[in-house]
Chain A
């Protein structure tokens, strides 16, 4: 840690969902743009409060679903009508109603895998290490503590000033997040 004392940001610890919502609101009003919150469960409105409104997950899911469905139907059409056509009593080769179940299943399969992989990729997971883990108290974020972190890359960031600002929000602790 001593060789490159670089700061990732400053993190403040709160005890309740209301406190962190209020703190996130104040941080936004104070002009901070790069703010992250860590909470033991999703809190309604918190992501919006820290300036995160739109996620691509639904769009990725739609693409996965359309891709799965189109691939599924095209595959069956090609295999049954073009690659190896079987004439059974003169029935149509493109017997599309019989292709619906597989098309449907592959739509769901495509959409679901894209939803999960898309969510993980956008969250940049797997990511075994992250600077916030350097804060000892941070393990409480998965039990009953709520954290608000102002990032170093924020234009308004200044270690002492930001720490002082966070203190005014009445947190139980304020720590510096060291990046290696």
Chain B
């Protein structure tokens, strides 16, 4: 490997010893450090400014939603033939982002990856908030969100039921199950930490709030035994669930016969894309978080590098998906599919497609280099680029296919309006605001799991020392 200013850190032999937790920590020190962010640390000007900014963006969201409810979906850029537009692009983007949280907390747990410990809690929070943002879009896209309960099978006086042969109904069940299970998983994980905060509470209000939330958890060995059993089962259940959710989302497209959608590569490539964008979002959040709250000991270079590697791997699967889409279009000889593939390269929205290739295929190739993976600002930048790229991917899928389907007489064009952009930016604000509230209201790192990590390290069972 090349030589830089930090030769010891950069040599592969030493790098393998990069800790998942900086040495020298005790049970008490990890507990103190993480709990202090919630219990004692005063609200800094940075937090207040960030919260104020994101809160005002949430007001923009409320404005857009109110105007939408007053006027109807006509305020958006959608029309026949492009009925889906931003609402579905944003829905798929947000729900995909959520997937990394479940992957980190469930799949890496089953694979016994110790490095997941310090990032799983806020990755799960990110999942919940992303699912909340995602859920807004199909709801408002129905046009009459106050009728949304029609999507659930309840015994109505009309005597009719949802159409269970439709992927859109599968989606209702997949997304609502995903939201519920993510919440349960997150809460179960939080339970011991809420008890820790209760025990360390500095005033009556904290005591009452954390006391109620922790349900009287008292760290009993009997409790831990059942807790671990339930946690392992939840991880095992969440793993197929997370794979099923984006699969079902991809069915929304691939079950239809629209050119560019009707392909069997969609489920795996959607799932890989979801994890790809999710890890990019975890990095986007983790890098400022560790800096702002001095958590570099807990979220170490090892975590950032590992996440970069996951992004590279899933990015390559996504690249393979793009390639297979093209290959199958020409191999099938179906003239509509061939035409659509050419439209992506030369059609009216080709600049989006090229931007997508740049963001999602070319940029992550930088992650092959260790120097790039260890360069925190550059990694942050790459994560933003990938987030953008994944949004573009969904835009390309929705808009290019719908504007250029079978009959030239049915073709159209799509451009988003202020309200489309406003709603999207508004959900970004909602997501960030919830993250701001989360990092100060709840332990952003799983304290009890960090204590477990300390125990492992002090017994030489850890991956270093």
Please determine whether chains A and B interact with each other in the same assembly: yes
CB-defined contacts of A43 to chain B, threshold 8 Å: 221, 224, 455
Chain A residue at minimal CB-CB distance from B195: A142
Let me know if A144 is at the binding interface, CB within 8 A: yes
B104 to chain A, nearest CB (A): 18
Interface: B153 (CB within 8 A): yes
Known: A52-B222, A144-B26. Is A79-B153 also a contact (CB below 8 A)?
Answer: yes
Per-position binary interface string of chain B over residues 14-33, scored 1 when its CB falls under 8 Å from any chain A CB and 0 otherwise: 00000000000011100100
B244 touches A38 (CB 8 A): no
Q: Are A57 and B218 in contact, CB atoms less than 8 angstroms apart? A: no
- B181 near A: Cβ within 8 Å? yes
Q: Is B160 at the interface (CB under 8 A from chain A)?
A: yes
B416 touches A (CB below 8 Å): no
B199 pairs with A143, CB closer than 8 A: yes
Considering only residues 48-66 of chain A, those with a C-beta below 8 Å from chain B are 50, 52, 55, 57-58, 61, 65
A113 touches B218 (CB 8 A): no
Residue of A nearest to B160 (CB): A84
CB nearest neighbor in B for A145: B27
Q: Output the least CB separation between A89 and chain B (Å).
A: 12
B288 contacts the other chain (CB 8 A)? no
A115 touches B161 (CB 8 A): no
Would you call B184 an interface residue if the criterion is a C-beta within 8 Å of the partner chain's C-beta atoms?
yes
Interface assignment of A150: CB less than 8 Å from any CB of chain B: no
A-contact 0/1 string along B161-180, CB 8 Å cutoff: 11011010110011001001
B460 at the interface (CB under 8 A from A): no
CA distance A125 to B216 in the complex (A): 7
Q: Does B262 contact A (CB under 8 A)?
A: no
Bound Cα distance from A143 to B31, whole angstroms: 6
Contact with A along B424-462 (1 / 0, CB 8 A): 000000000000000000000000110110010000000
- At the interface, yes or no: A128 with Cβ under 8 Å from chain B? yes
Q: Is the CB of A142 within 8 A of B226?
A: no
Could you tell me if A40 and B237 are in contact, using CB atoms closer than 8 angstroms?
Answer: no
The answer for the CA separation of A101 and B222 in the assembled complex, in Å, is 36
| In the complex with contacts A40-B219, A108-B177, A116-B230, A80-B196 CB distance below 8 A | no
Is B227 among interface residues, defined by CB-CB distance under 8 A? yes
Q: Is A163 an interface residue (CB 8 A)?
A: no
Question: SS class of chain B's interface: helix, strand, loop or mixed?
Answer: helix
Is B27 a contact partner of A143 (Cβ separation < 8 A)? yes
Is A106 an interface position by the 8 A CB rule?
A: yes
Partner of B164, one of A102, A126, A128: A102
Indicate which residue in B164, B218, B251 contacts A99 across the interface (CB closer than 8 Å).
B164
B240 within 8 A of A: yes
Measured CA separation A80–B306 after assembly (Å): 47
Asked if B222 and A84 make an inter-chain contact with CB atoms under 8 angstroms apart, the answer reads: no
Q: How far is it, in angstroms, between the C-alpha of A83 and the C-alpha of B30 when the chains are bound?
A: 58
Report which of B27, B161, B212, B227 forms a contact with A84, defined as CB distance below 8 A: B161
Q: Is the CB of B169 within 8 A of A102?
A: yes
Quick one: closest A residue to B35, CB to CB? A143
Check A4 for interface membership: any CB of B closer than 8 A: no
Q: Which residues of B contact A139 (CB under 8 A)?
A: 199-200
Which residue on A lies nearest to B169, using beta carbons?
Answer: A102
Partner of A115, one of B187, B237, B448, B452: B237
Closest chain-A Cβ to B33's Cβ sits at a distance in Å of: 12
Q: How far is the CB of A56 from chain B (nearest CB, A)?
A: 8
Q: Is the CB of A105 within 8 A of B234?
A: no
State in angstroms the CA–CA spacing of A75 and B251 once bound together. Answer: 22
Closest-by-CB residue of B relative to A124 is: B216
Q: Within the assembled complex, what's the spacing in Å between the Cα atoms of A113 and B188?
A: 11
Given contacts A80-B161, A130-B216, contact A105 B177 (CB under 8 A): yes
**Which residues of chain A are within 8 angstroms of B153 by Cβ–Cβ distance?**
75, 79
Q: Are A101 and B251 in contact (CB under 8 A)?
A: yes
Complex interface: chain A residues within 8 A of B215 (CB): 120, 125-128
- Chain B 212-253: CB-based contact to A (< 8 A → 1; otherwise 0): 100111111111111111100110011011001000100100
Q: Which residues of B contact A58 (CB under 8 A)?
A: 229, 233
Residues of A within 8 A of B42 (CB): none
Q: Are A39 and B219 CB-contacts (below 8 A) given A101-B248, A111-B237, A119-B230?
A: yes
A119 and B184 in contact (CB under 8 A), knowing A50-B221, A127-B216? no
The CA of A119 and the CA of B222, in the complex, are separated in Å by: 11
- B139-172 contacts to A (CB < 8 Å): 153, 159-162, 164-165, 167, 169-170
Binding site for A on B (CB under 8 A): 26-28, 31, 153, 159-162, 164-165, 167, 169-170, 173-174, 177, 180-181, 184-185, 187-188, 192, 195-196, 198-200, 211-212, 215-230, 233-234, 237-238, 240-241, 244, 248, 251, 448-449, 451-452, 455
- 7 A–B contacts from the bound complex (CB under 8 Å): A37-B221, A38-B219, A42-B225, A84-B160, A108-B238, A113-B180, A142-B198
5 tightest A-B CB contacts, nearest first: A144-B27, A119-B230, A126-B215, A139-B199, A47-B225
* A-B contacts besides A75-B153, A112-B237, 8 pairs, CB < 8 Å: A36-B221, A37-B220, A40-B448, A57-B233, A105-B170, A105-B173, A108-B177, A119-B226
